[in-house]
Amino acid sequence: MDTDTELSDSWWERVKYYAQLAIERVEYGVESVKELLSTLTIDERWGVIFKFEDIDPNKFAQLVADAPDWVEWMA
């Protein structure tokens, strides 16, 4: 059994789940997205952002327009 693959799949499923939540939270404002991201590890945050942009580029553009300093949240 390859546990690295299982962990990787589990990590990716978690990232996709949180990306969907982030997309939904855009409607509630920047602080809502920022709060969600603050609960994740740095790797998860970046994964969420990459997946978010992939799933819904328009909402991602809205987030970036509403919060041009979003990259600062990622550290």
Percent of the chain with pLDDT over 90: 76
Both tokens of 15, joined, read 């990232």
Q: For residue range 33-49, list pLDDT tens digits in order.
A: 999 999 999 999 999 99
pLDDT of residue 58: 96
Judged against a pLDDT cut of 80, whether residue 2 lies above it is answered with: no
Q: pTM to 2 decimals? A: 0.84
Q: For residue range 22-32, list pLDDT tens digits in order.
A: 999 999 999 99
Task: State which H helix or E strand residue 51 sits in.
Answer: helix 42-55
Q: Under 8 Å CB-to-CB from 56, ≥6 apart: which residues?
A: 23
